[in-house]
Amino acid sequence: MTKGRDTKPHIGIFGRRNNGKSSLINALTGQDIAIVSEIAGTTTDPVKKSIEIAGIGPAVLIDTAGIDDTGDLGFKRVGKTRDVLKIIDLAILVISANQFDEPENRLVQDFGANDLPWLIVHNKSDKEEITPEFLTMIRQKCAVPVIDFSALYPLNLEKLANLIGETIPETAYKKQPLVGDLISYGDVVMLITPIDIEAPEGRMILPQVQVIRDVLDHDGIAVVCKEREVDAFLAKMNPKPVLVITDSQVFPKADAAIPKEIPLTSFSIVLARQKGDFPNYLKGTPHLSQLRNGDRLLILESCTHHVSCDDIGRVKIPRWLANFSGKKLEFDIVAGLNTISRPITDYAMVIQCGGCMITRKQIINRLKPAIDAGIPVTNYGMAIAYIHGIYNRAIAPFTKSNSGVIDYL
């Protein structure tokens, strides 16, 4: 399964083999897109399926292998199934035949450990309906929504879809604005977008596109230019921009060019506020001043991409940090949502990219082991601003409300 490449809400389907997880996905999507068989273990690896859910919009269903799989290969499949817990926003536990025992209990513990909302679908009700006694027991034991369902005859499909919509958190599909809450009707936002070796041919990178759309959605005016045109354009521009957002790589140039009375930040910091762990980034970033010789830092990329000779995460940030700290540092880079091979306690700090390709839940879960272990975390843009001495200016648009009260800190 390709993980971490879709920002839509992710819903995981879990349960024992032959409880009808794949049939449930077919019923929800209205298509025969998941292979269904009476043979236990038909689904071997997590598989994504797209769906449109009323009230939520586009979402991704993830079909998983049975949690009761056996043997060496089966245990590996179960491990892959549990990995899905780190990337989803809602879990659906599929049971049948009024059965809820040790495999389900272990999953429930995993849901709790990952702070996941979840619900129960008692499937195959056409063969055996849920009994009143079992329903009472489940409700007392789990305190989550339960629905009796038949994927073969999905007469109450709309009720199930509504239950999913009621259980999944709004934060999974209703995104905080990137900058829309900072601007008013007709305000101008200037975007500084370098066209260099890392800029994709013939198009803009995703964070730039997302910010332009957010400005337009909130009735603002987006003005886009390269860093070389900033001075000339500001001299002619009227009214002046209420906010300037720059690519982090040209932060020092932007800081010098943009008058101090105009708020300045970066695309990466904008994303950090919307979908990262912003409060912990604010706490963690100043630890860049406390690095020591031999410290190992973990750099987390949210996607796989062609690595250029001047890659921001793999080349520039390590170079800037070495120069800033004057220390001999070690760096590990992990792309996408791949497994971190070292114990998290081996690291002095963790630096997360903006995360434009993954969901907020995925970023939060990605950072959780470090935060739980007391390891400082930061973000590409915030680290770059700190290194170049413009950190306070770069975070100011998001740490002060209109009344001047500090939020987050």
Higher-pLDDT residue of 402, 342: 342
Residues 53-74 have pLDDT tens digits of 877 888 999 999 899 887 788 7
CA-to-CA distance for 287 and 271, rounded, in angstroms? 21
Q: Which residues contact 385 (CB under 8 A, 6 or more apart)?
A: 248, 251, 266, 269, 391, 393, 394, 395
Q: E strand or H helix at 139, and its extent?
A: helix 132-142
Please check the confidence at residue 402 and state whether its pLDDT lies above 80: no
Q: Looking at domain 10-172, which of 3.50.50.60, 3.40.50.300, 3.40.50.620, 3.30.360.10 is its CATH number?
A: 3.40.50.300
Crossing angle of the two packed helices 391-399 and 380-387, in degrees rounded to 10: 130
Assign residue 51 a region (left: φ > 0; alpha: ψ between -120 and 50; beta: otherwise): beta
Evaluate whether 330 touches 294 at the Cβ level (below 8 Å): yes
- Which pLDDT does position 31 carry in this prediction? 67
- Which pLDDT does position 4 carry in this prediction? 39
Q: Nearest-5° angle of CA 173, CA 282, CA 323?
A: 120
- Which pLDDT does position 385 carry in this prediction? 96
pLDDT interval class at 39 (50, 70, 90) = very low
Beta-carbon neighbour count of residue 291 at 10 Å? 19
Amino acid at site 211: V
CA-to-CA distance for 267 and 254, rounded, in angstroms? 13
Span 180-270: which CATH code?
3.40.50.11420
CA-to-CA distance for 197 and 37, rounded, in angstroms? 50
Q: Cite the residue boundaries of each domain of the chain with CATH code 3.40.50.11420.
A: 180-270
CA-to-CA distance for 239 and 236, rounded, in angstroms? 9
Q: Name the phi and psi angles at 322, rounded to 5.
A: -65, -45
- Which pLDDT does position 11 carry in this prediction? 95
- Which pLDDT does position 16 carry in this prediction? 94
Please check the confidence at residue 304 and state whether its pLDDT lies above 60: no
Mean per-residue pLDDT for 78-97? 92
Q: Nearest-5° angle of CA 227, CA 229, CA 230?
A: 70
Lowest mean pLDDT among 12-16, 334-338, 399-403: 399-403
Q: Cite the residue boundaries of each domain of the chain with CATH code 3.40.50.11410.
A: 280-387
Q: What percent of the chain has pLDDT over 90?
A: 66
Mean per-residue pLDDT for 354-381? 91
Residues 121-146 have pLDDT tens digits of 999 999 999 999 999 999 999 999 99
- Which pLDDT does position 208 carry in this prediction? 93
pLDDT interval class at 337 (50, 70, 90) = confident
- Which pLDDT does position 56 carry in this prediction? 80
Q: Name the phi and psi angles at 129, rounded to 5.
A: -70, 160
Please check the confidence at residue 117 and state whether its pLDDT lies above 70: yes
- Which pLDDT does position 409 carry in this prediction? 45
Q: Does domain 280-387 have CATH number 3.40.50.11410?
A: yes
- Which pLDDT does position 202 carry in this prediction? 72
Please check the confidence at residue 303 and state whether its pLDDT lies above 90: no
Amino acid at site 142: C
DSSP string, 264-316: EEEHHHHHHHHHS-HHHHHHHGGGGGG--TT-EEEEE-SS--PPPTT-IIIII
Please check the confidence at residue 198 and state whether its pLDDT lies above 70: no
Please check the confidence at residue 308 and state whether its pLDDT lies above 90: no
What is the overall mean pLDDT for the chain? 88
Evaluate whether 174 touches 185 at the Cβ level (below 8 Å): no
Mean per-residue pLDDT for 341-364? 91
pLDDT interval class at 196 (50, 70, 90) = low
Q: Which of 284, 309, 310, 308 is nearest to 298 (CA)?
A: 284
- Which pLDDT does position 309 carry in this prediction? 52
Q: Cite the residue boundaries of each domain of the chain with CATH code 3.40.50.300.
A: 10-172
- Which pLDDT does position 312 carry in this prediction? 86
Q: What percent of the chain has pLDDT over 70?
A: 89
Residues 225-269 have pLDDT tens digits of 999 999 999 999 999 999 999 998 899 999 999 999 999 999 999
- Which pLDDT does position 183 carry in this prediction? 95
